[in-house]
């Protein structure tokens, strides 16, 4: 897995497989990445069963938090779910946004989009739509979204700075996000990072929490807050697939760890980066992050 395209293809193929397999396999797994552990039952996912708007058929057991619980979605809001899967968080967001709201789910995997669309059609949800697309180049115009949510997805994206820059672009000034994701504290062993299975399983694609939050700050988001943090304990029967017994002991003693965090931040009403540019959704030109206006520079140029 030496390139961005290799990583994306790993994620795409794994989540296509997950979309087609029985849900019971996913909910007994590590972010759906296959049989996870005989020691614990689903080490990542939070319990959605009491959340209003929950649709069990749309929950594939792939999350690591409850971002909609913290997102402050209001009636009439336009909500974007990054990595929408079978539509679970979109349907919960719809309940909060109401009949006058609009919910858009974007997913990288066509099979997931098809599954979500089928679920929405079955439920008769006309104000929920799903689009196939890359989070690093979202298929949305600028300044159109009130709230962005995401659940255990951005850790799978190779360029997280691009993903958060795109989040900034599509949010309306004053809009905000609430994102649950997997982050690290301390060094994760190299073989965990290098494993394709663990990458698709949300662990080896994660980055150091301080660096993760640093990207959000650097892009100009305000009111950056960790709303929830919980440890993710990888049992020995998972670790033993990648590490020797001695390496497992050393890892346990190192103080390093894997965590699920839910982080929120707000797009400023005006920002010093208003004139800065990023690729448009088609990747054919650069537009100003804040307004969507053309920058007048080449796609490979640095405009600010």
> Same domain, yes or no, for 17 and 69?
yes
Q: Which domain holds residue 292?
A: 272-304
> Same domain, yes or no, for 218 and 284?
no
> Same domain, yes or no, for 62 and 84?
yes
pLDDT digits (tens, 9 = 90+) for 273-295: 555 666 665 666 777 655 567 77
> Same domain, yes or no, for 233 and 280?
no
> Same domain, yes or no, for 137 and 280?
no
> Same domain, yes or no, for 174 and 280?
no
> Same domain, yes or no, for 223 and 292?
no
Provide the number of structural domains found in the chain: 2
> Same domain, yes or no, for 279 and 200?
no
> Same domain, yes or no, for 89 and 208?
yes
> Same domain, yes or no, for 304 and 286?
yes
> Same domain, yes or no, for 150 and 239?
yes
> Same domain, yes or no, for 16 and 56?
yes
pLDDT digits (tens, 9 = 90+) for 231-282: 877 777 777 888 888 988 888 888 777 888 999 999 999 754 555 666 665 6
Mean pLDDT of 164-181: 97
Read off the CATH number of the domain in which 247 is found. 3.40.50.150
> Can you say how many angstroms the Cα of residue 289 is from the centroid of all Cα atoms in its chain?
20
pLDDT digits (tens, 9 = 90+) for 14-53: 666 776 766 555 544 444 444 454 444 355 567 787 888 8
């Amino acid at each position: 897995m030496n390139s961005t395209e290799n990583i994306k293809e790993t994620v795409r193929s794994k989540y296509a497989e997950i979309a087609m397999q029985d849900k019971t396999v996913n909910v007994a797994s590590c972010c759906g990445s296959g049989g996870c552990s005989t020691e614990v039952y689903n080490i990542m996912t939070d319990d959605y069963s009491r959340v209003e708007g929950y649709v069990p058929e749309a929950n594939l057991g792939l999350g690591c938090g409850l971002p909609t619980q913290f997102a402050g979605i209001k009636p009439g809001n336009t909500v974007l779910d990054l990595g929408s899967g079978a539509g679970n968080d979109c349907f919960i967001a719809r309940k909060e946004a109401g009949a006058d709201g609009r919910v858009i789910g974007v997913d990288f995997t066509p099979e997931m989009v098809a599954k979500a669309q089928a679920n929405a059609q079955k439920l008769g949800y006309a104000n929920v739509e799903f689009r196939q697309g890359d989070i690093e180049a979202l298929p949305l115009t600028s300044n159109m979204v009130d709230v962005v949510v995401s659940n255990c997805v951005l850790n799978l994206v190779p360029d997280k700075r691009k993903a958060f820059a795109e989040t900034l672009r599509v949010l309306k000034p004053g809009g905000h996000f609430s994102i649950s994701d997997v982050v690290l504290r301390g060094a994760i062993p190299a073989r965990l990072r290098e494993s394709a299975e663990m990458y698709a399983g949300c662990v080896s694609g994660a980055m150091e929490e301080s660096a993760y939050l640093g990207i959000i700050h650097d892009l100009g988001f305000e009111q950056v807050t960790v709303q929830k943090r919980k440890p993710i304990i990888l049992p020995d029967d998972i670790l033993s697939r990648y590490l020797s017994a001695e390496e497992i002991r050393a890892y346990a003693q190192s103080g390093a760890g894997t965590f699920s965090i839910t982080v929120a931040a707000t797009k400023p009403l005006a920002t010093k980066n208003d004139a800065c540019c990023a690729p448009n959704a088609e990747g054919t030109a650069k537009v100003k992050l804040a307004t969507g206006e053309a920058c007048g520079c080449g796609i490979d140029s640095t405009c600010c």
